Amino acid sequence: MSPTISVAKRFCGPPNSGNGGYTCGLISKAMHVPADITIRRPIPMETELSIHENGEHVRVMNREELIAEAAPLIFAASVPNEPITFKGADYASANSPAFHNHPFPTCFTCGPDRAEGDGLRIFPGKWQGNSREYFAAPWAPQSDLADRSGYIREEIIWAAMDCPTGFAAGFPWAGTLVTGRLGAHLKAPVRAGEKCILLSWATGQEGRKHFAECVLLGEDGTVRAESRATWIKLA
């Protein structure tokens, strides 16, 4: 029997579909390797999705409907050497575009309508580095998102690594963008309550496709995770 995953309603992106980062995290966790995942259709929630492996490649199905495809990730972010602090990220976050005309205000990761202790409430805002403009956000994940060892679950880290790339890519001021592809490498664990920084930056655009990368910095300044994403402009 094929392994399955299911996305609970708490972990939505748009109101009626699963959060792209969270879902990709579940898929990567099932693959047991860093993964590069292409989302083909909106992700149904409260539904068993089956995972079908063909060598190193994976197809995620809702019965006969293809939802996502995945393969092992080959990627390393160009880690920026920037003097950002948790306080500086917090200052940038106060002016996040998330607070203005957010098309998905209940998104698990970046929705401003999610209550403390419910959504992640990650609100990236512009921050000027030495070499380019970034988006930065502070994040101190709550304990209910951790495993028994006190480390934040993989799928939650994936969720945190998703939306910051969207803001760097132009969400929401450049239009309504959704995650089309996300790859992430979780390099080291994150403790519950640890004061982390998410730093993201744009890497280009091709028509409706917007590209960006992100790193998650731990309280000691080391890179705990890195991601790259393709966002698709809907409108």
Average of per-residue pLDDT across 226-234? 94
pLDDT score at 1: 63
Asked whether the domain spanning 86-233 has the same topology as the one spanning 4-72, the reply is yes
Give the residue from 50, 200, 51, 219 showing the smallest Cα distance to 133. 200
Does residue 89 register a pLDDT over 90?
A: yes
For residue 18, list its beta bridge partners. 12
The mean pLDDT of 60-77, rounded to a whole number, is 90
**pLDDT at residue 178 tops 70:** yes
The per-residue pLDDT for 55 is 78
What are the residue boundaries of the structural domains of the chain, listed by start? 4-72, 86-233
Distance CA 50, CA 62 (A): 7
Fold of 4-72: Thiol Ester Dehydrase; Chain A (3.10.129)
User: Stretch 12-22: mean pLDDT, rounded?
Assistant: 96
Residues 129-169 have pLDDT tens digits of 988 999 999 999 999 999 999 999 999 999 999 999 999 99
Task: Tell me what pLDDT residue 82 has.
Answer: 85
What is the 8-class DSSP label of residue 75?
-
**Which CATH code for domain 86-233?**
3.10.129.10
pLDDT digit string (tens) for 186-226?
A: 999 999 999 999 999 999 999 999 999 999 999 999 999 99
Q: How confident is the model at residue 24 (pLDDT cuts 50, 70, 90)?
A: very high
- Confidence check: pLDDT of 235 > 80: no
Residue by residue, DSSP assigns 161-229 as HHHHHHHHHTTTTT--EEEEEEEEEE-S--BTT--EEEEEEEEEEETTEEEEEEEEE-TTS-EEEEEEE
